[in-house]
């Protein structure tokens, strides 16, 4: 376990961007008609099992950098100077290409200063919070004053490939299970700036304690790769859920000790947005009050690294009083790692 208490870092601004195309679970099932007919699957199964009514998609040609930059532009429109970003981190699963860093394209689109450091961090659905922790450490140590963290995910290429595989194949009900998680994926983008407390506007959230818990014996449970312009991924959803809960439970126990919190302290608890089974399992296993949950998966699906920060941003947008309330982000990513971070300790 790694843990640290931040005392000099806060969230200066948050923004998100969403695609205009809404893709319902019912529409996905319509596109899977050959599969549903062949295996006699009931309509409505996807929404019933996941709790996901719809998700959004960028056009297939819309690059992650373009999505991230949309959120970045919204953030900068609040008055933050492009010349005062010391560090830019792009933290998505999706990237424009292997080289150069996707952050370089975001930097160019946003017109940031030539002194801005740029880099990519990718760690499944945990990438954004990984980037927050690393940037906060640099701020805490006095090396930088302000960092912009962005992420832009687009699940459409993966979903399109999955539909093609399932409709053209001859799999049994058991054999289609590894592809099921792919159908929960959505798209979106998010951007935050975190700063030294000397630059933090009054009433903005501050970062507190974080812990990291990792168990890589489970890294085979969710594996994805690219094939040309297409993405392929297979997930053992049931085993991954159990493994993730195990890692999160150990992490939560250590987080409570490191932060001196109990489940009663936070007013808001945000988890990764996989679906209703995952959310219910996390809250039940960690004995957390479900009324403190805020979720977005119902209308956005699982947006990878975007989901956790977007959901916190959305919660604060819906109820600005949460900006000053104790909150906790419970992040988890395949591999398998979990990071828990307190806000307004």
Catalytically annotated residues: 99, 125
- Among residues 311, 322, 341, 323, which one has the least CA distance to residue 16? 311
Rounded Cα distance, 6 and 133, in Å: 9
- Give 308-326 as a DSSP string: HHHHHHHHHHH-GGGGGS-
Which residues make Cβ contacts (< 8 Å) with residue 30, sequence separation at least 6? Answer: none
Rounded Cα distance, 173 and 179, in Å: 11
336 is written with which tokens? Answer: 């398998």
Rounded Cα distance, 102 and 97, in Å: 7
CB atoms inside a 10 Å sphere around CB 1: 13
CA dihedral 318, 140, 81, 15 (to 10 degrees): -20
343 is written with which tokens? Answer: 């806000």
Pairing of the two strands 146-154 and 87-90: parallel
Query: How far lies 139's CA from each of 9, 10, 132, 148, 258, in Å?
Result: 7, 10, 10, 12, 21
């Amino acid at each position: 376990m790694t843990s640290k208490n931040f005392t000099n870092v806060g969230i200066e601004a948050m923004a998100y961007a969403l695609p205009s195309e809404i893709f319902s679970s019912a529409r996905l099932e319509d596109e899977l008609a050959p599969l549903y007919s062949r295996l006699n699957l009931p309509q409505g199964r996807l929404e019933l099992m996941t709790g996901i009514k719809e998700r959004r998609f960028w056009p297939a040609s819309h690059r992650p950098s373009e999505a991230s930059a949309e959120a970045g532009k919204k953030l900068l429109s609040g008055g933050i100077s492009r010349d005062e970003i010391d560090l830019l981190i792009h933290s998505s699963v999706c990237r424009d290409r292997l080289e150069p860093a996707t952050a370089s394209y975001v930097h160019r689109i946003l017109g940031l200063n030539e002194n801005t450091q740029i880099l990519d961090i990718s760690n499944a659905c945990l990438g954004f919070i990984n980037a927050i922790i690393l940037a906060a450490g640099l701020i805490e140590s006095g090396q930088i004053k302000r960092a912009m963290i962005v992420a832009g995910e687009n699940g459409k290429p993966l979903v399109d490939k999955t539909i093609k595989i399932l409709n053209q194949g001859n799999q049994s009900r058991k054999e289609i299970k590894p592809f099921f998680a792919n159908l929960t994926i959505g798209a979106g983008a998010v951007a935050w700036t975190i700063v030294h407390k000397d630059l933090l506007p009054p009433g903005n959230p501050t970062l507190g304690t974080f812990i990291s818990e990792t168990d890589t014996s489970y890294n085979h449970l969710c594996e994805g790769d690219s094939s040309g312009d297409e993405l392929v991924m297979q997930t053992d959803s049931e085993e991954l859920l159990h493994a993730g809960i195990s890692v999160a439970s150990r992490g939560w126990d250590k987080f409570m000790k490191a932060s001196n919190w109990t489940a009663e302290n936070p007013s808001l608890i945000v988890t990764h947005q996989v679906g209703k089974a995952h959310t219910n399992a996390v809250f039940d296993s960690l004995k957390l009050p479900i009324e403190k949950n805020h979720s977005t998966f119902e209308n956005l699906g699982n947006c990878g690294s975007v989901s956790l920060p977007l959901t916190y941003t959305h919660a604060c947008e819906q109820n600005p009083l949460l900006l000053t309330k104790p909150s906790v982000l419970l992040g988890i990513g395949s591999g398998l790692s979990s990071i828990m971070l307190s806000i307004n300790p």
